[in-house]
Structure 1
Amino acid sequence: MSNALQLVLSNPTPGMEAEFDEWYGGSHLIHGVETPGVLSGQRFRRAGGPWPSGVHDYLMIWELDDPAFTLAELAKVKGSAEMPISPAINMDTVQPPTMWRRAEVRSAARSTTDSTSLHTIVFGLYNAAEGQTEAFAESLLHGGLARLADLPGVRAAQYLTLADEQIRGNCRKYSQGLVIELDDEQQGLTSLTDALATLPHADPDRWMAIVFRPLDKRMTKQDVERLTHP
C-alpha cells in the first residue's frame, strides 16, 4: 500500500467535456502512471451529497510513496511530449494538485491486502478549530477513524495530512483530509451525514465533503504495460 496520495480537483473547459474525458481517462492517465514514483491512478466524478462540496466536478487520485521524488519526476515531463496538457482542462479553475500523507483504517469486512479499485468515495477537507490541530488528529487516530470505517455502508476511512512537498503553497486552505470509501452508497451517506458535520475538534465553518463516483478502474503500472505492450 502506498503511504501518500496526490489529489487533483478539476473541471473541463466549457464545451470540451468530451475531449477532457478522452484525454484524462486515456493518454494522461497512462502518462501519469508511467511517471517514476507514481504507482497508480483512478478518476472520479462528483455526485450529489448532503454537505458543502465546492465547485469541482472531477477528482484524480494518484498513489505514490515518496512525494519529493514524484514531484521532481513530474516536473521533468509535465507539458512535454511525454505528458502533454490538453486545452480541454480548465486551468482557470483547476485546484493545484495536493500531496497528502495518509493513515488508513478498514472495516472488518475488508481485508487490508485488498488493493482493487476504489468504490464511491467521500473526500472531506477540514481545518481544526483554533488551537485544536493536535486534538483533531488524536481523535481520528485513536478511535475516530475506526468508528467512521465501521459505520453501516462504509468500507474504509483514510486520514490525510498535507505533505511538506507541494507544487504550490496556496493549496493549504485545508490542512486535514479524509477519504472515506463506501460499500453501499446510500447507506454510507446516511451513516456519515451527521458524523462528518460533527467531527470532534473540527472548525464547524471551514470544511467540506464531496461525494465522487469512479469513472474508471484503478490503473497500475502493470495495467499500463499491458495496454502499451500487448
Structure 2
Amino acid sequence: MIEAVLVVLTNAVAGREDDFDDWYTHIHMRDALRFRGSIAAQRFKWAARQVQDYPSGYGWDYMALYDVFDPARFSREHMENALTPRMMVTDSIRVDGLNDYHYFPLQFRDNDPGTRHDRGVIMEQIKVAQGNEEVFIDWYNEHYFAAACARPGVRKGAFMKFLPQGQLVDMVPVHNFVTTWHIDDASMIDAWRRDEALKNCSFIDQPSLSVTSWEPVTPKITEDEVINTNAAGLAEEERARAHMGDRVMTDRGDELKTV
C-alpha cells in the first residue's frame, strides 16, 4: 500500500547530462528500490510544451516519482547509505537546489485500474497559507479533483499534502500540496491551460502556483523487478557502473544527505 510519494527534482552538471541519465536510470533508481520502504519509481524530464509560461525558467530539468510504503524507513536508508558502495553518487549531479520531499495522499483515483501507466505527468504545486488548509482541501476534493479526473486522457490522479514525518531533510518545501496527474499524451496540456479554477482559487498563493508538464525518461520499475532482475537489466547496471568508474562524490556534506 502506498503511504507517500517521494517527489525528486534534480539537475545535471552542464555538459554531463548523458552521464547523469545513465547513472540515475541504471544505477541510482535501482539502488533506491533495493532499500526497504520503496515500491516503484519512474523518471521524467521537463517537457518541451508547458501548461504555464516560465520566462525565468522553472529551476529543474528532471523529476522522479517514488511510490513509498514506509517513508521513514526509506529516508533512513538513504541517509545511512548515500555516498557508500550501496548508493554511489555520480559527480554529474548538481547538488545545489536538490528538492525531494515525501507527500502524503489525501485523495487518489485510478481511471484504468490494473494498467501500468508509463506516459507523461502534469504536476500541480500549490502553496496554501496555514489556517486555510482545511477549507482548501475541502474545495479541492469536492469541486476540483473529480472534474480534473474526468478529463479525457487522464489515467490517474493523486492529491497529496506535505507532512513533516518521514522526510529526508528538516526543511519545509515552498509548496505544501502537490497533485500528480498521469496523462495519455501532451494534448492534455490544453485542458490545464484552459482551466481557470486554480488561478481563481482565493486559498492558493497565486505567485507561487506552478503547473508543469513532464515527459517520461523511463517506464515505471518496481522493487520486485529490481530485486529479481533479469539478465538484460543486470547487464545494463554493470555497464553503467563501469562507465561511471570513480567519477563519484565522496564529500558527505549537508547537501548530500538528501541524495
- Give the TM-score normalised by structure 2: 0.79
* Cα 1:138/1:99, change in 2 over 3 Å: same
* Cα 1:153/1:135, change in 2 over 3 Å: same
Instruction: Tell me by how many angstroms 1:45 deviates.
Output: 0.3
Give per-residue Cα distances to partners, 1:30-74, cap 9 Å, x unaligned: 101111111111100011213156210100111111211221122
Aligned to 2:106: 103
Question: Does the CA-based 8 Å contact 1:3-1:103 persist in structure 2?
Answer: no
Give per-residue Cα distances to partners, 1:126-160, cap 9 Å, x unaligned: 11257422111111223421111112332222111
What code does the residue aligned with 1:216 have? T
What code does the residue aligned with 1:99 have? H
Give per-residue Cα distances to partners, 1:87-113, cap 9 Å, x unaligned: 111112322x10110134436x422x4
Aligned to 1:146: 146
What code does the residue aligned with 1:90 have? R
Hey, what's the Cα distance between the residues in 2 that align with 1:101 and 1:210? 20
The structure carrying a bigger strand percent of its residues is: 1
* Cα 1:176/1:52, change in 2 over 3 Å: farther
What code does the residue aligned with 2:184 have? D
Question: Does the CA-based 8 Å contact 2:79-2:168 persist in structure 1?
Answer: no
Aligned to 2:215: 213
Hey, what's the Cα distance between the residues in 1 that align with 2:31 and 2:221? 11
Aligned to 2:168: 167
Match of 2:69 among 43, 65, 69: 65
Does the residue aligned with 2:97 lie in a helix, a strand or coil? Answer: coil
Aligned to 1:8: 8
* Cα 1:177/1:122, change in 2 over 3 Å: same
- Give the TM-score normalised by structure 1: 0.89
What is the 5 A alignment of 1:104-123? Answer: 104-106=107-109, 109-111=111-113, 113-114=114-115, 116-123=116-123
Aligned residues: 225
Question: Does the CA-based 8 Å contact 1:153-1:182 persist in structure 2?
Answer: yes
Hey, what's the Cα distance between the residues in 2 that align with 1:150 and 1:60? 25
Give per-residue Cα distances to partners, 1:106-128, cap 9 Å, x unaligned: 36x422x44x1442111111112
Instruction: Tell me by how many angstroms 1:29 deviates.
Output: 1.1
Does the residue aligned with 1:151 lie in a helix, a strand or coil? Answer: coil
> Which structure is larger by alpha-carbon Rg, 1 or 2?
2
Aligned to 2:192: 192
Does the residue aligned with 1:21 lie in a helix, a strand or coil? Answer: helix
Hey, what's the Cα distance between the residues in 1 that align with 2:123 and 2:27? 25
* Cα 1:105/1:168, change in 2 over 3 Å: closer
Aligned to 1:176: 177
Question: Does the CA-based 8 Å contact 1:41-1:62 persist in structure 2?
Answer: yes
Percent of pairs identical after alignment?
Answer: 20
Name stretches of at least 5 consecutive residues in structure 2 with no aligned partner. Answer: 235-259
* Cα 1:21/1:221, change in 2 over 3 Å: same
